[in-house]
Amino acid sequence: MHVPSLDHLAAAVAAKPSSVSDVVRALHAHALAGAESFSELLCLGTLQGVETLPYQVETVRRVLKVLRGRALLADEVGLGKTVEAIMTLREYQLRSMVRRALILVPPSLVDQWVGELEAKAGIVARHTNDRQLRLDPDQFWRGEGVVVASLALARSPRHAPAVQGESWDIVIVDEAHRAKAPGSASFRLVDGLKSRFLLLLTATPIETDLEELYQIVTLLRPGQFASPAAFRSEFVDRNDPTSPKNRDRLRTLLGEVMIRNTRAQSGLKLPPRYVSTVLVEPAAPEGSLYEQTLALFRAHAGDGRARLLAATLLLEAGSSPRAVAASVARMLDSHEGPLRDELRTLAGAASAATATRKTETLIEIVAGHRDKVLVFSRYRATLDEIRESFAARRLPTAMLHGGLGAEAKRDALAAFAGGTRVLLSTDVGAEGLNLQFCHLLVNFDLPWNPMLIEQRIGRLHRFGQKSEVQVYNLCGRRTVEERILAVLSDRLHLFELVVGEMDMVLGDLADERDLEERIFSIYERSACEAEVDAAWGALASELAAARGQYNRVKALDEALFGEDFSL
């Protein structure tokens, strides 16, 4: 379609006397003519902190111009399907072609999607973790804007009718392989949605056999493969249901709905990363504080508000006594009765734990390297303690946390990029940062959700990194964190997977609860250490099975698709 330039329109309007309405009509005609030309992507100038790569830009153009907004984005893990989907959504918004968007994701990814939409594209979404859903469930699904919803919640009998009763301009389904089983609640939900545009995101379109491809493509374009029987007859080899017949014909039909970028094609080859566990023997007061905090959690496991409070303190006890002391000081002002007495006792234990062995270990690591070091902690109080210890040894540091303004953050980053060797950062402080000039990271404490650890590593181990990345995970002996690392790092080596693969492995767990919540449940349900050991063993076996399943699925998809569907 030929789109007239604004200069051409201006000349046409100026050729004769024109009213304001004439000008408005001319500009409106220009907008309509160019709305679906997509000769240039408007979204590129609006994104923030996004390294848009050529294959991603071409993917979005193909989705918009050729596939008409209905596409299966099947890039290999870690190549940025989320970025491609956000770019597509933003492009449609800027052209006034999308006002209502629904993004369906696994429960554990709701907050991550909400954060990325706002950070990368300035899109503020309402979401199913918000109290608005509980206050007025029906109204939640109505109105304009972007909704990020847990697929598990949206497909439930309580919400599915409301979700399917609305008309959406675009629907985006992340980890779409979870919705391809015919007859499943997820398949029925997506199949019943009313939407002009539909993006299905998955690195593994096929997990067991070719017929799964029929189901997922049918969600996008019913009739693309005629009928299930016709698909089996034309493409499925009875002797090997994972190997297609008529590959050229299959490639042609898939090319009308599917894009799959690969690492080899995109040129994204990252240097390796190496992850080491450093076990630290806590000083006696530190060990005592940890044991008391764990006992407090177990004592209040059945009491909603008190359990949340104790869970927070247990996570902080894995970080530093200073973090526990800071929280307890705040909690004492808002609690009465026996719980207040327990908190007062814990405050005394925290104040007695003045020496922190992990800080000493961190200083030894920094002293043993000449490179820049990024140090992560979940808690600002912990970072304050580390900074004081470094200052006492005349080791300068820069610090990032969520409480800093934009200018202070820029100053800290400039110092780290310059002569300051050590950057201390909370997870919030480092959101959206690209620090490829650094290749040494220390996790001073460990979130129990491994995806948060993966996000930390991703600040360094990302496109543009030239050096091998070394990661040290510090944890105290006889802590929950030691158990976590024994399974995730030492046994399964999950932190050494390619960026994005850990999420695929965790997504294969039968239990859809967040892994952090599952770990808490081990300690609230186990009456003795033997039961704790058994529960951890069961979780480790489940994780090992999930990794094995992912490896098999990955091999199958690579064998079937190879480079055939890359741009």
pLDDT tens per residue across span 61-91:
999 999 999 999 998 877 889 999 999 999 9
Distance CA 285, CA 278 (A): 20
Same domain, 47 and 30: no
5-9, 153-157, 337-341, 513-517 — which one is most confidently predicted on average? 153-157
Q: Is 364 within the bounds of a domain?
A: no
φ, ψ of residue 400 to 5 degrees: the values are -125, 135
Range of the domain at 176: 43-266
- Comparing 506 with 152, the larger pLDDT belongs to 152
Q: How large is the average pLDDT for residues 40-46?
A: 92
State the residue for tokens 């870690």: 78
Q: Is 3 within the bounds of a domain?
A: yes
- Give yes or no for residue 313 having a pLDDT over 80: yes
In the three-class reduction of DSSP (H, G, I as helix; E, B as strand; rest coil), residue 199 is classed as strand
Q: What pLDDT band is residue 566 in, cutting at 50, 70 and 90?
A: low
| SS3 sequence of 4-61 | CCHHHHHHHHHCCCCCHHHHHHHHHHHHHHHCCCCCCCHHHHCCCCCCCCHHHHHHHH
- Give yes or no for residue 171 having a pLDDT over 90: yes
Distance CA 61, CA 67 (A): 9
pLDDT of amino acid 1? 37
Q: What angle do CA 537, 538, 539 make, to 5 degrees?
A: 90
Same domain, 118 and 211: yes
Distance CA 374, CA 459 (A): 9
Closest CA to 117 of 57, 164, 49: 49
In the three-class reduction of DSSP (H, G, I as helix; E, B as strand; rest coil), residue 172 is classed as strand
Residue at which a domain ends, from 237, 266, 295: 266
Same domain, 224 and 107: yes
pLDDT of amino acid 416? 94
Q: How large is the average pLDDT for residues 253-281?
A: 87
Q: How large is the average pLDDT for residues 177-188?
A: 90
Closest CA to 512 of 77, 103, 183, 109: 109
Given a contact cutoff of 8 angstroms between Cβ atoms, the answer to whether 293 and 313 are in contact is yes
Q: How large is the average pLDDT for residues 188-192?
A: 95
Q: What angle do CA 563, 39, 64 make, to 5 degrees?
A: 55
Q: Is 6 within the bounds of a domain?
A: yes
Q: Is 127 within the bounds of a domain?
A: yes
Q: In 147-300, which residue ranges form alpha helices assigned H by DSSP?
A: 151-154, 160-165, 185-191, 211-220, 228-235, 247-255, 263-266, 284-299
Report the 10 Å Cβ neighbour count for 453.
Answer: 25
Same domain, 28 and 154: no
pLDDT of amino acid 512? 59
Same domain, 74 and 168: yes
Same domain, 9 and 117: no
Q: How large is the average pLDDT for residues 394-419?
A: 91
CA dihedral of 19, 20, 24, 26, whole degrees rounded to 10: 30
Q: What pLDDT band is residue 211 in, cutting at 50, 70 and 90?
A: confident
| Tens digit of each residue's pLDDT (9 = 90 or more) over 139-168 | 899 989 999 999 999 999 999 999 999 999
pLDDT of amino acid 511? 64
Q: In 108-262, which residue ranges form alpha helices assigned H by DSSP?
A: 110-121, 131-135, 137-140, 151-154, 160-165, 185-191, 211-220, 228-235, 247-255
Which residues are paired to 71 by β-bridges?
Answer: 199
Q: Is 208 within the bounds of a domain?
A: yes
Task: Give the count of domains, the chain.
Answer: 2
Same domain, 4 and 59: no
Distance CA 387, CA 392 (A): 9
Q: What pLDDT band is residue 37 in, cutting at 50, 70 and 90?
A: low
Q: How large is the average pLDDT for residues 340-361?
A: 91
pLDDT of amino acid 5? 44
CATH of the domain at 220: 3.40.50.10810
Which residues are paired to 366 by β-bridges?
Answer: none
- The amino acid present at 514, given as its one-letter code, is D
Same domain, 163 and 25: no
Which residues are paired to 236 by β-bridges?
Answer: 244
pLDDT of amino acid 527? 86
pLDDT of amino acid 125? 96
Per-residue DSSP letter, 528: S
Q: Is 504 within the bounds of a domain?
A: no
Same domain, 50 and 19: no
pLDDT of amino acid 239? 82
Average pLDDT, the chain: 87
Q: How large is the average pLDDT for residues 446-458?
A: 86
Same domain, 16 and 165: no
Q: Is 301 within the bounds of a domain?
A: no
Distance CA 474, CA 377 (A): 11
